């Protein structure tokens, strides 16, 4: 009898883990902008949604500023069109004046006064051309600055009107609350699949790619989401493993798990 016990496979003594079935992931969303909460759909907790807004942070002033900037951008666009035309005309005028000067500067039949006059006209035309070019560049810089301000405001408004998808686990702010940057807004759970967390011994880790998963005594396909090859910082002699399971009807149940 003693010999039989010594020859029994070690796998019969596999550790039984009692673990809780959890959602695959919980996402913790925080405020990317501060302000007062205008409305909040607290009633959406414990429901699944897709691309839906759950709360609104006051963005009235931001929208007024955005509208003002967009109007400035329209006017600036028209000014740039005029500046481009002026630059084109100034360039043509300068080229004509310069060609006129070039055509007489070496002629002995032309007086020095006339040569100097044509030269001065060409220099003045060049100065006008350069001034028109500078004005256009300044307008383009203003346009770039306004475009950046518009994008920042649009991004801010979007952050104050966030949309979410998934199972609503928790909505934190209520209507009238003031949220600061980084304050918790919504917790979203991914319940399309489940996850269990195990802490495995060195013996369980050995040849783990050849082992099977048993849940409440029944075999299941072993599918690791994460498998640490370094011992856990809290459980110094064990290895943390996260295993994916099909989504149950109800999360939070405790099950018995063996890997052998």
Question: Which of 127, 143, 159 delimits the end of a domain?
Answer: 159
> Regarding predicted confidence, which is higher, 231 or 78?
78
Host domain of residue 147: 60-159
CATH number of the domain bearing residue 87: 1.20.120
Indicate whether 221 belongs to any domain. yes
> Regarding predicted confidence, which is higher, 209 or 125?
125
Own/partner pairs for 216-222, CB < 8 Å, 24+ apart?
216/255, 216/256, 217/256, 220/245, 222/259
Indicate whether 136 belongs to any domain. yes
Domain co-membership, 45 together with 173: yes
Residue 199 near residue 56 (C-beta atoms within 8 A): no
Domain co-membership, 250 together with 201: yes
Domain co-membership, 68 together with 49: no
Percent of the chain beyond pLDDT 90? Answer: 75
pLDDT at 3: 43
Domain co-membership, 178 together with 213: yes
Residue 251's pLDDT band, with cuts at 50, 70 and 90, is very high
Domain co-membership, 198 together with 79: no
pLDDT at 7 > cutoff 50: no
Give residues with Cβ within 8 angstroms of 191, minimum separation 6. 23, 24, 48, 166, 167, 247, 251
Indicate whether 3 belongs to any domain. no
pLDDT at 178: 97
Domain co-membership, 173 together with 53: yes
C-alpha span between 250 and 168 (Å, rounded): 15
Mean pLDDT along residues 140-147: 97
39-70 confidence digits (pLDDT tens): 999 999 999 999 999 999 999 999 999 999 99
Domain co-membership, 228 together with 200: yes
Indicate whether 31 belongs to any domain. yes
Domain co-membership, 68 together with 54: no
pLDDT at 110: 86
pTM: 0.78
Domain co-membership, 46 together with 173: yes
Mean pLDDT along residues 74-81: 97
pLDDT at 13: 54
Mean pLDDT along residues 88-113: 92
Question: Which of 131, 159, 187 delimits the end of a domain?
Answer: 159
Domain count, the chain: 2
Domain co-membership, 172 together with 218: yes
Question: Which of 102, 136, 159 delimits the end of a domain?
Answer: 159
> Regarding predicted confidence, which is higher, 220 or 195?
195
pLDDT at 146 > cutoff 70: yes
Domain co-membership, 66 together with 49: no
Domain co-membership, 169 together with 236: yes
């Amino acid at each position: 009898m003693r010999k039989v016990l010594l020859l029994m496979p070690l796998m019969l003594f596999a550790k039984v883990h009692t673990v809780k079935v959890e959602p695959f992931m919980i996402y913790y969303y925080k405020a990317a902008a501060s302000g007062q909460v205008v409305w909040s759909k607290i009633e959406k907790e414990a429901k699944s949604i897709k691309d839906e807004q759950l709360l609104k942070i006051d963005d009235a002033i931001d929208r007024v500023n955005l509208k003002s900037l967009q109007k400035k951008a329209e006017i600036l666009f028209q000014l740039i069109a005029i500046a481009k035309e002026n630059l084109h005309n100034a360039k043509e005028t300068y080229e004509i004046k310069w060609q006129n000067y070039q055509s007489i500067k070496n002629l002995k039949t032309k007086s020095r006064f006339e040569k100097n006059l044509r030269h001065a006209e060409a220099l003045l035309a060049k100065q006008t051309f350069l001034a028109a070019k500078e004005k256009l560049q300044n307008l383009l810089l203003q346009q770039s600055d306004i475009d950046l301000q518009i994008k920042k405001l649009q991004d801010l408004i979007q952050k104050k009107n966030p949309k979410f998808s998934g199972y609503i686990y928790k909505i934190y702010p209520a209507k009238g609350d003031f949220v600061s940057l980084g304050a918790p807004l919504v917790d979203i759970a991914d319940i399309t699949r489940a996850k269990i967390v195990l802490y495995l011994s060195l013996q369980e880790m050995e040849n783990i790619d050849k082992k099977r998963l048993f849940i409440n005594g029944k075999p299941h396909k072993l599918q690791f989401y994460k498998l640490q090859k370094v011992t856990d910082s809290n459980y110094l002699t064990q290895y943390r493993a996260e295993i994916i399971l099909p989504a149950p009807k109800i999360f939070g149940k405790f099950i018995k798990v063996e890997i052998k």
